[in-house]
Structure 1
Amino acid sequence: MVIYGHGDNTILQAADGIIIFNITCTASCLIKTLRLDISNYTTDTQAVLINETNNNIVGFEDVSIIGGAANGIGIEVQSDNCYIEQCNILQMKTGIYLNGAEKTRVSGTLSRLHVNYGLHLNLADYSIITGNSFTANTIHGIYIFDSDYCIISNTGCTSNLNTGIYSENSSYNTISSNLSNSNSLNGLYITQGNYNTISSNTFSNNDSNVAGDTAGLFMGANCDYNTITGNSCNNNNNIGTGDGYGIIISAATSNENVVVANNFNGNDIDVKDAGTQTIIIYYVQSRDEFQDAIDSIGTRSGTIVIPTGEITLDAELNINGGGDYTIQGEGVGTVLTTVGEINLFNITNVKSCTFKNFKVDVSSLGVDTTPVFNIVEGSDIGIVFSFITIVGDGSNGIGFELTTNNNIVNNCNMSSL
């Protein structure tokens, strides 16, 4: 069955409490190119209710649904194998509600200005949400609850008054290549979710004024084995008493998550890890990013990777948080160049610390007693140096000044100091 109109010139207007399309038994059904007006609704009646008994395919294409600002649900899907494509759903309680529906595809759709959510997934496993826009909703752009093995991609969730994408009790999902910007609390919030992959998203300008912490990406309690990689987290700030983070893992009950190769700029604080056995790998390209990464590791464990290229440092790097630090380059093509009379690293408080695979150029030093690596770790924790090259101007600087015990200098090359 195909039902089609002539775009906005075909208008079906519902009286209060009347479902326009109630689809329960059809071999297949496509409804396209028309407009539904539910501005008379005063309750949470659905404009469209899909509960096809045999899970046959039902599709909506190029359908506009316009509400009266506060009531009604645009499309509620309760059966499997349905799709919603190129639709425009505005001004109601919730735009799209996937309620116990599996294998639903939502693509190319705009859902905005709703009291609750642009899209709500509840028990909606294997959903594919791609190429949409969920904006300016009073709560979340997308709310995912108890829905696994879903793909959320290439979708914009912006200017929502709470969080762009909120995921609860949902696992094995892929959230990638989305823009979740300018929301009033968080770009993405995850709680009670395991084995999710969060990659290549942009979480920017999620600014708040609240007492609690907020973030571009906020991971709450009971989140295990998630992978967070290749995301950009920029200008997430909180002018209230809380802080705005690029990424925060806020609870010790979140275990063994992996955070690697994410980019940060302009956040109150780039990363906070209060989880358990989190694996964090930082890629740094400036002195400020370097010190931020050291500070973010704090008392925990982390790896800082310096990519091939040159970083100029005009201030010392202080390692004093009491954590386990690995700082590594990509060989002699990774060059740290100092400017002025500075120690490159002051190491005062660590559980362990390893430096390896990079070159240091200290030819700007003019004092012969300035150490490049200044180790004054008070607990005699051994610092390990492997495959470090240090080059000076020919007469100034000291490569390593070791004032504590148990250090290892292995396969290092020092010249012209």
Structure 2
Amino acid sequence: MDPKQQAIQFFKSVLKNVNPREFLPDVVQWNKESRVLSVYDEKFELNDDQKIYVIGTGKASPTMALAIEQILGPDLEKGFIIAPPGTETSPSKIEMMEGSHPLPDEDSENATKRLLSLIKEIPYDSIVINLLSGGTSALLCKPNDDLSIEDFQKTYKILLESGADIHEVNTVRKTLSDVKGGRLLSYFNDVTLLDLVISDVPNDELASIGSGPTTPQEISYDKAFKVLKKYMVWNDLPHEVRNHLADKMDAEAQNGRSLQTEDLRNHQQWIVSSASKVAHQTKEMLIQDGYKTTLIEPTWSGLVDEFEDHIMNQLEKKLKDNSGKKALIFFGESTVKVTGDGLGGRNQEIALRMAKQLKEFNQSIVFLSAGTDGIDGPTDMAGAVVDQNSYQDAKSNGIDPDQFIDNNNSYHFFEKAGGHIKTGPTGNNVMDIQLLLIEEG
């Protein structure tokens, strides 16, 4: 098999192995006779009057909801999830509405209103299973009262193109929302809330996954202002957003402390899948296929320029080992400071940059970068794959890779030169994964 096609097959096998419908039945179990709900080793005994509800937000919420419906069967009372646009599968009993991603819009806002309405209706003493995954930051959207959805959209776009990492982006986003940063907790009655979380952020920090809607945390307007100044985007924000933050900063200074959101009395959280778990599974798969495999840890988070250097440093170390075929696995998410007006995502961007780097090598080296959600930035691709010939092959066909790099136009490069990876939305989201496969030679 062609090495690039083999890399794509490895990636698709990874997606299959981490599907929530496959692993959630091992995490959550329901004993109808004894009325005991188990999450891992934790058991919750329900009396005859207690009901189980399900809510969810994020790219993985539809597949997670399908798994939970199968586990609970007719004992599921009611549910509602907010899914990404274009979701092809939907649960039968749990209601679903689509929001918008990567930027929120009226669909996200309307779906959030419906979710909040259901949450308020859930009776006291109920069990609520919350299915949370990446993408929630855009799908779960309720701007503060003095802000509009248009203000939100403009601010999100500025943040996503600023080069700020996910933690910095969320530091700002949660200051503008009535549901992020633990604020969603205030809408619940006195229930038992069980969060099942698929992590798409470095270090699996619950406060950052989906902007932490059900994770109590600090909300600091001063820290948000410092992030905006650091990336020199304060003056680019909508006027209403700057006024909102300025007023809140003044109040925060007068109070002498930042806001701390409060938890529910009965609330537990579990990370049921993450990039780290997926990366380790990928390592085992490559080892079984005969690759001498190295998993590069910890999770990567940083600018794409630095990630490119990091990958090349690890590759050069690996090439000193002349024994057999070898593989390197990276995982995490890089950030791209957009200066051009092209189209692409961080996976296609790093793949195109690596095509330029690999042209210096004579042996077979394949690089793949793709998002486990199947969506790379504002495109319909999961990512791209290149090898040591990709750069020169493109040049030979009249395609100048450097022009596409300079214009952040990786999508149209791969559209012309080939190398795109298209899976469609996967119903999962555990960050990005990168593979370097070095054949013998």
Q: If the length of structure 2 is used for normalisation, what is the TM-score?
A: 0.20
Larger Rg: 1
Higher RCO (CA < 8 A, seq sep 6+): 2
Which is helix-richer, 1 or 2?
A: 2
